[in-house]
Structure 1
Amino acid sequence: MEIEVKFKVDNLGDLENRLKELGAVFKGTEIEEDIYYQHPCRDFRLTDEALRLRRTPKAYELTYKGPRAPGKLKAREEIVVEVKDFVKADILLRKLGFRKIAVVKKTRRKYILGNREICLDEVEGLGEFIEVELLVEKSLSEAEKELLDFAKKLGISGEPITKSYLELLLERRT
């Protein structure tokens, strides 16, 4: 189960400085390109599922994301499979009837602090965001408290965003 919280932010530089002050370990910067697909027989928007093919400089992954659990966090089943050939994986999905619906491109700077992975994202067409994911299994209520407390510690206020980058991008198009 993936459990994370996401916020839209105004200045990633300030957040990055705060993370360093707290002792977060920088793990690197990657450019990610995510292709999202629509199932040929069911509408993923209605079932709250997603199928994504991700390309980074280091790896290719095919990811299924199940429906979200209710609440302030993004909590959902996630199944990730490593892919050796990005182009062939895309062709395979299209041959099976999956239709490409959007591409999300972002620059992601990753940090680790304790049991959290922190991603500072610059998303093309959407702006700057922070995502914090717990790297350990906890109950949803424990995870929500820990992640929201951590956001306050970073000086982040406001309500978390539960929509995916895909949903935000599709909303902007309409």
Structure 2
Amino acid sequence: MREIEAKYQVRSGDGEALSAALKRAGVELGSPVHQDDQAYAPEAWAYGLSKVGVPFARLRTTQDGRHLFTVKTPVSNEMECSEAESIVADRQQMHEALVHMGFRPTVRIVKTRCSGTVGEWSVCVDEVESAGLFIEVEATVTDDRDGLAVQAELDAWVRALEVPVERTTDTYDSLVRAARA
């Protein structure tokens, strides 16, 4: 499975305009969900190096106490990743296992997410502590579609919302790290 996404920072004060535009586009966002993510990178990788082809891990705890373990490997860019995900029973034990496998914790990402769908795409509006408000539009594919072509489709849809946004190709861990620097 590949996750292909386009991500945008929403200008301060434009959250209501975004909500109205999503509603006009037929996107019904669900209730806010709190997510506490710890990002992990291989010991040999450092910020500033390419992420393409490198596996990265994440441990997420949601407000209902569920723990999700995810591994993403960027394919052609950071917004196109092969992905595997599973629920884990014990976050601390999974953390220890990751460290034993040669991963190191990098950045903690805490956010509030509202999710919806448009067609086969998922839409997430995220308020990320230290980084701001973002919209992500994501396609999950199991075929060999060109990731850049899918990202262009996602971009066209977001631009059609006519809300002032700035596209970013950085992942949340990089955005939070830069905001805290």
Output the CA distance in 1 between the equivalents of 2:99 and 2:148.
Answer: 39
Indicate the residue corresponding to 2:125 in structure 1: 120
Q: Which amino acid aligns with 2:120?
A: N
Matched, 1:144 2:158: no
- Structure 1 unmatched runs, 5+: none
Tell me which of 159, 169, 180 is aligned to 1:162.
Answer: 169
Check the 8 A contact 2:17/2:163 in 1, yes or no: no
Report SS of the residue matched to 1:27: coil
TM-score by length of 1: 0.85
Indicate the residue corresponding to 1:7 in structure 2: 8
Check the 8 A contact 1:12/1:120 in 2, yes or no: no
Check the 8 A contact 1:7/1:130 in 2, yes or no: yes
Please list every run of at least 4 consecutive aligned residues from structure 1 whose deviation after the TM superposition is greater than 6 angstroms: none
Matched, 1:16 2:22: no
Output the CA distance in 1 between the equivalents of 2:134 and 2:165.
Answer: 13
Relative distance call for 1:44 and 1:80 in structure 2 (3 A) is farther
Indicate the residue corresponding to 1:55 in structure 2: 61
TM-score by length of 2: 0.82
- Structure 2 unmatched runs, 5+: none
Map of 1:97-108 to 2, 5 A cutoff?
A: 97-108=102-113
Indicate the residue corresponding to 2:97 in structure 1: 92
CA RMSD of aligned residues (A): 2.2
Output the CA distance in 2 between the equivalents of 1:15 and 1:96.
Answer: 41
Matched, 1:133 2:138: yes
Q: 1:117 Cα deviation (Å)? A: 0.7
Indicate the residue corresponding to 1:32 in structure 2: 35
Output the CA distance in 1 between the equivalents of 2:149 and 2:88.
Answer: 34
Q: 1:36 Cα deviation (Å)? A: 1.4
Indicate the residue corresponding to 1:110 in structure 2: 115
Q: 1:91 Cα deviation (Å)? A: 2.9
Relative distance call for 1:93 and 1:144 in structure 2 (3 A) is closer
Report SS of the residue matched to 2:130: coil
Q: 1:28 Cα deviation (Å)? A: 3.0
